[in-house]
Amino acid sequence: MTRSFLLVYDRSAGRLLSLVEHPTRAGALQARFDTEKQHRHDTSIEVVVLTAASEQVLHRTHARYFKDVGQLASDWLRHVAEA
Amino acid sequence: MKLKGVQDVAGVRVVVAGTRRDQDDAVARVVAAFTGPAKPPQVKDRRSEPSSGYRAVHVVVFEGGLPVEVQIRTELQDLWAQVFERLADRWGRAIRYGGELDEPDAVALGSDPPITRRELVEFLRQLGDRIDKVEQARVEVHDVADDQAPATNRAGHVVGLTDFESSIRRMLPVLMHYATEEA
């Protein structure tokens, strides 16, 4: 069972503005198109629909939306320590 | 990216918790799952031919005649890509496709001695090369039992890891400062 999430991310601020789960993928896509229209003049805003088993999975596959570069570098060091 | 440059209509990302050999296995499973009467999957191995430093294996599969890109990364390759993309968000997204930074000669704040953004990005690309070497060495070590692994392989792996760790630690002040700037 997969779940659909709509993410709105501000690239220049490096901040996730919102993450909303939608009951259906079609609903999430429609919300994406509506949200893109709202931000069509702001190129730093990224609107994306991601589908995954859980929000936690997204934190692993799309860490960029959730962690800053310092946290990502710390994850690197942790992987090296475990290798 | 221009619309005509878009080659797929959807994407899937797989982050493999394992070695490069596990990544190869995942690629083989994806290819097998989508091999049939439809157009055969296309494998793009960006480990041997990195794109602007980015390494992964991409498999374009065809579902209902439409191309879907499956990105298969190891955890280290994925972390590299996440950091690179995050830097590109503010320093210039063109670097993801081999383009130039918006302000390449600006000093990367937090660096000591000072280095430019261009130098830091180049350093990050070199770090990608080191990741590749570390992952190749890891496969060589894992391919044989621990007690049978050639000492040279084990030693090379450890040296590679140490080298890799020192590279990350060297970049860490800049990355931490970058994170502060974002906040």
Question: What pLDDT shows up at residue B28?
Answer: 98
Q: Which parts of chain A register pLDDT below 70?
A: 83
Question: What pLDDT shows up at residue B123?
Answer: 87
Q: Reply yes or no on whether the pLDDT at B9 is more than 80.
A: no
Q: Which residues of B touch A80 (CB under 8 A)?
A: 161, 164-165, 168
Among A11, A61, A73, the residue with its CB nearest the CB of B89 is A11
- Model confidence at B151, in pLDDT bands (50, 70, 90)? low
Evaluate whether A22 touches A31 at the Cβ level (below 8 Å).
Answer: yes
Q: Is the pTM of this model over 0.90?
A: no
* Contact check, Cβ <8 Å, A61/B138: no
Q: Which residues of B touch A67 (CB under 8 A)?
A: 82
What letter does residue B37 receive in the DSSP assignment? S
Evaluate whether B57 touches B46 at the Cβ level (below 8 Å).
Answer: yes
Question: What pLDDT shows up at residue B154?
Answer: 67
Q: Which residues of A touch B165 (CB under 8 A)?
A: 77, 80
> Which residues make Cβ contacts (< 8 Å) with residue A61, sequence separation at least 6?
A52, B13, B14, B15, B78
What letter does residue B109 receive in the DSSP assignment? T
Q: How many CB atoms lie within 10 A of CB B147?
A: 5
The predicted model gives B58-83 an average pLDDT of: 94
Q: Determine whether A36 is exposed, middle or buried from the number of CB atoms within 10 Å of its CB (0-12, 13-18, 19+).
A: middle
Task: Quote the ipTM score.
Answer: 0.92
Q: Reply yes or no on whether the pLDDT at B1 is more than 60.
A: no
More confident residue, A32 or B2: A32
SS3 at position A7? strand
> Which residues make Cβ contacts (< 8 Å) with residue B80, sequence separation at least 6?
B53, B54, B55, B124, B127, B128, B131
Averaged confidence pLDDT in chain B: 85
Question: What pLDDT shows up at residue A1?
Answer: 79
A15 part of contact set with chain B, CB < 8 Å: yes
* Residue B131, CB-side half-sphere exposure with 13 Å CA sphere: 28
Q: Which residues of B touch A63 (CB under 8 A)?
A: 78-79, 82
Question: What pLDDT shows up at residue B3?
Answer: 59
Among B15, B93, B179, the residue with its CB nearest the CB of A60 is B15
Residue whose C-alpha is closest to residue B23's, from B131, B96, B127, B95: B131
Q: Reply yes or no on whether the pLDDT at B8 is more than 70.
A: no
Q: Reply yes or no on whether the pLDDT at B147 is more than 60.
A: no
Each domain of chain A, given as residue ranges in start order, spans: 3-82
Could you give phi then psi for residue B119, rounded to 5 degrees?
Answer: -65, -40
